[in-house]
Amino acid sequence: MSSLLSAKEAFQKLPQKLHNFFIKYPPRPFAQYATEPSNVNDAQLNPFLPNKNPENGRWHGPKYSLRRSADLYKIAYKFGVHELLPPMPQGKKFFEDKYENKNWMRGQLRQKKHKWERELDDKITTRKAAMNAMDETIIKARPSFKKQLEKKKQRERSWY
Amino acid sequence: MQGFRKRFQRDLDKYVPALREHYLKRNTAMNLPTLPKATHLPKAEKRLTYREQEVAKGDLIYITKGQGKGKIVTVESYSKDRDSVYCSEVYQEVVVPKMYWMEGQQSHLLRIPLAIPRANFKLAAKDKDENGKTYYVVADEVVMKGVSYDDRYRQWMPRRFVKHHESVEIPWPTPPDVKEDYLSTSQDAVLEKSYELQTIAQSPLPKGVLSELRNPHSKHKKRVLSEMEARMINGPKMPLSTEQKIYLAKKAAQPEKKLSKLSEEVEDFIGQKVADHLNKITNPALKTHLEALSNVKVPDFEKTIKKIEH
């Protein structure tokens, strides 16, 4: 069996494609990348995602296309450095991860339902949260409400 | 005879057979009842070559059905439009009113040759046996085999044989002589070349004629533009808009993006990850594959390194 590789030797084995990418976009713990499209001036912009130019409202296409990003991921995976790349676009998954997160027998095991039905649970929870935080929301819009609220609290009766 | 089909003329070939029959019947309803019925042979079924026709003018045929059944007669003509033959023995006598009489007609009765369809005759041939006695051969079917040049037809003719008795060849009949008239071209004149195709390889004009006809000192041939002409061709440079100027100024003000080599810390971090991964691999095939992958040269990487160095 051949001797174990040191970190320096192993770095020499890194394909040029990945080395080139890391020069332009340093690996993950040394740099942070947005998981969602952001604007062009953002220091954390993700090169795999489209980003908006806030000055003129135009969208810049991703620096690396879906194909190129997938290619980079696959090579990085072979060398065990796939976690160092920026987050993949559109939550793209590969290999086992992709297989395990597959929606098997889509539409047959579970009905798709209408869009409003699918979104209903989320909608109710957000509505409830909004109702609970209603006082703060009103105070934000109308600071004088704070006084009103205090008065209300004073007037409140209790059994003791 | 059918010539070119006119633009709005019906194309009987496109009709279904029943409809075609109906149309022909209606179209010839006013014809004399004694005249033979009109027929139509679709273009695809027409026999246009000797190989397809199998009979030619001057051939002997044996009539198997209809008028003249059992007779051996000579073919007077072959009709491509009907795929049938005509001979002098099979005819119909038609009563023709005097207004329709032809030149030299003496009687109300006119002999019209009747078409003998292919199904009603078989090809026959005449030969003499050893004793000099004439006998006839009737071919149920004919096969064509090979070709030989026939000087009488002045073309390569297929050879006819009786099917299943292929030692028996039926030669083509001698075609009727073509009579020359005042419009025909003589045989020698045919070979004479009176027209030659012009090609771009050879100019039709003699050498030096063009420079005599055209001005060799024309200013269009100088290939030198005057200042005015150059200005007209190139057009003015458009001034930048205010927005463009602002944009360019902003761009110039921004610091240039500079690439730098990976720091040792980063290199070590990546290297450690790669080493951890590679050291676990035992499969020699996978090792070879990864080795090959890490040796792949990328032009963009070279460019990046150059940028860093400059």
User: Whole-number mean pLDDT of chain B?
Assistant: 90
Contact yes or no for A8 and B290 at CB 8 A: no
Q: What is the pTM of this model?
A: 0.45
Distance, in angstroms, between A72 CA and closest chain B CA?
A: 12
Strand B60-63 to A59-60 pairing: unpaired
Sheet holding B77-79, edge to edge: B77-79, B84-86, B116-117
Give the model's pLDDT for residue A18: 96
Q: Is B59 helix (H, G, I), strand (E, B) or coil?
A: coil
In this prediction, residue A2 has a pLDDT band, given cuts at 50, 70 and 90, of low
CB contact under 8 A, B301 and A16: yes
Q: Which residues of A touch B300 (CB under 8 A)?
A: 20
Nearest neighbour of A81 by CB, restricted to B274, B296, B300: B274
Picking from A13, A16, A84, the nearest residue to B297 by CB comes out as A16
CB burial of residue A90 (10 Å; 0-12, 13-18, 19+): exposed
Q: Identify the contact set of chain B against chain A, taking CB-CB distances under 8 A.
A: 259-262, 265-279, 289-291, 293-294, 296-298, 300-301, 304, 308
Q: Is A14 on the interface with B (CB under 8 A)?
A: yes
Q: Where are the beta strands (DSSP E) in chain B?
A: 60-63, 72-74, 77-79, 84-86, 91-95, 109-113, 116-117, 121-128, 134-139, 142-150, 155-162, 165-170
Determine, for residues A24 and B296 on separate chains, whether the beta-carbon distance falls below 8 Å. Answer: no
Phi, psi of A147 (to 5 degrees): -60, -45
Tokens of B306: 């150059």
- Lowest mean pLDDT: which of A26-30, B179-183, B274-278? B179-183
Domain-by-domain residue ranges, chain A?
13-100, 115-155
Q: Is the pLDDT of residue B238 over 70?
A: yes
**Quick one: pLDDT band at residue B216, thresholds 50, 70, 90?**
confident
Say if the Cβ atoms of A7 and B275 lie within 8 Å: yes
Residue bearing the bigger pLDDT, B179 or A24: A24
Query: Mind listing the pLDDT tens digit for each residue in A66-101?
Result: 999 999 999 999 999 999 999 999 889 999 999 999
- How far, in Å, CA of A15 to CA of B298, rounded? 9
Kindly indicate the confidence band of residue B210, based on its pLDDT and cuts at 50, 70 and 90. confident
Angstrom distance (rounded) from CA A84 to CA A73: 10
From the CA of A45, how many Å to the nearest CA of chain B?
15
pLDDT for the residue B3 = 63
pLDDT over 50 (residue A1)? no
Taking CB atoms and an 8 Å cutoff, what residues of chain B touch A14?
Answer: 270-271, 274, 294
The CA distance from A8 to B275, in Å, is 9
CB B262 within 8 A of CB A81: no
Residue B4: pLDDT over 80: no
pLDDT on residue A77: 96
- What pLDDT, on a 0 to 100 scale, did the predictor assign at position B212? 86
Best mutation site among A16, A58, A73 for testing chain B: the one with the most B CBs within 10 Å? A16
A5–B296 C-beta distance less than 8 A: no
* Candidate from B2-6, B80-84, B182-186, B270-274 with smallest mean pLDDT: B2-6
Note whether B273 contacts A5, CB cutoff 8 Å. Answer: no
pLDDT tens track for B10-34? 888 889 989 999 999 998 888 877 7
Which chain B residue has the Cα nearest residue A3?
B279
Q: What is the pLDDT of residue A47?
A: 96
The span from the CA of A13 to the CA of A86, in Å, is 21
C-beta atoms of B259 and A78 within 8 A: no
Cβ contact B296–A16 (<8 Å): yes
